[in-house]
Amino acid sequence: MLDFRIDTFLCVCRHLNFTKASKELNITQPAVSQHIHHLENEYGTKLFTQDGKKLFLTDNGKLLYKKMNQIKNDDESLKEILSKNNHGLKDISFGVTMTIGEYIIADPISDYIKNHPDTNLKITFGNTSELLKKLSDGVIDFALVEGYFPENDYETLLFSKEEFVPVCSAKHSFNQKPRVIKDLFPERILIREPGSGTRNILERALALNNYSTSDFRNFTQVENMHAIISLVEKDCGITFLYKAAVASGLQSGYLKTIPLDDFRVKHDFTFIWPKDTVFSEEIRAICEEIQPITHSA
C-alpha cells in the first residue's frame, strides 16, 4: 500500500492543479501542499515549478511520477491477483491494435486459451496511442502493437515482421501505370485516424521521401479496417495496409497490390509492457507462449 502522500502527489500530477486535487481527494488545499512539501523534503528535490498560475512537473517530478504510478498499478494488480488466487482463477488483460486484433491474434491466442482453461482473458482493441495510455494507467497488463512507441519506456518482445503494401481494387484503372509513390498522388487515399499505428507507419514511410498524406488529391479517413478494405474493393480509393490484413482479398482476386520502386516497407508487430513492473517476467512468459514459432522472426 502506497503512502497516502504519494496518492496526493499522483493526483496533483494528473490535474497539475492543487485545488482540483484537493477536491478529488476531499482534503484541504493546505493539506495537499503539506503532502507535496513532505515528499520534496523526503526525496531532497523540487517536484513542481510554477509559472504564473500554471503548475509544471520538474524532471525529477516526472521521474517520480513515472515510477510511483507504475508501483501503484502493480499494487492494484497484485491485490486483484491475490483475490483471484483464492478462487483458483487468473485474469490477464491485454490490448491489441486494430489490424492485429482483426486479422492476426485469433490463431495464436486460441492455443493459449486451450492450454489455460482456468485463465480469464480480456482483450482490448485500440489504436497505438490509446493502448499506450491504457498501459500507463494500468488498465491492461501488456499490448501487442504495430505503431511506434518510446522504446526506452517498455520491455519488448518481437511478435513478427509484416509487409506493409499499397493496395487497390482489382478493377481499378490508373491513367498511367504507377512506378513510384508520387505517381499515386492523383488518387484518393483511404487512411486510418491519427494515432493509429497503420497511419503512423504510412506517414513515416512517406516522410522518408519528403512526402505526406496531404500530397494525395483527396482522402477519406475511416476508423474501421473492415470498412477501409470494403471501400477499396468497391474502387473508392487506394490504401496502404499490412499484407496480412488484405490477404483474403488478394487471394480471392478482389484486391491487388501496387508494386512501387520506392516503397518497400516491413514493420515489427511487438509485445510491450512497462519496464518497471514487478510482473515483467510473468508477462514475458505469457507473450512467449502466445508467440508461436511460426510467428517469430
| Number of other CB atoms surrounding residue 135 within 10 Å | 25
31, 41 Cβ separation under 8 angstroms: no
Supply the DSSP symbol for 260.
-
Do 161-267 and 87-159+269-295 fall under one CATH topology?
yes
pLDDT (tens digit, 9 = 90+) per residue, 37-49? Answer: 999 998 999 999 9
Cα–Cα distance, 104 to 94 (Å, whole number): 15
Check if CATH label 3.30.70.60 holds for domain 4-80.
Answer: no
Multiple choice CATH, 87-159+269-295, 3.40.190.10, 3.40.50.300, 2.60.40.1580, 3.40.50.720: 3.40.190.10
Please state the CATH superfamily assignment of the domain spanning residues 161-267 in this structure: Periplasmic binding protein-like II (3.40.190.10)
Q: Can you tell me the mean pLDDT for 265-279?
A: 89
pLDDT confidence band for 87 (50 / 70 / 90): very low
Long-range contacts of 109-113 (CB under 8 A, 24+ apart): 109/290, 111/292, 112/286, 112/289, 112/290
Say if residues 8 and 25 touch (Cβ distance below 8 Å): yes
Predicted model pTM: 0.65
In the numeric block, which cell numbers belong to residue 38?
513532505
**CB of 211 closer than 8 Å to CB of 201:** no
Please report the pLDDT score of residue 292 as a whole number: 64
Q: Which residue, 104, 98, 94, is CA-closest to 127?
A: 98
Higher pLDDT, 262 or 3: 262
CA distance 177 to 165: 16
Q: Strand, coil or helix: what is 202?
A: helix
Instruction: For 185-228, write each residue's pLDDT tens digit.
Output: 999 999 999 988 889 999 999 999 999 999 999 999 999 899 99
Which residue matches cell numbers 501487442? Answer: 144
- pLDDT tens digits, 95-131: 999 889 988 899 899 999 999 988 899 999 998 889 9
Enumerate the domain spans of the chain: 4-80, 87-159+269-295, 161-267
Q: pLDDT tens across 244-255, in order?
A: 999 999 999 999
Q: What is the DSSP string of 13-36?
A: HHHT-HHHHHHHHTS-HHHHHHHH
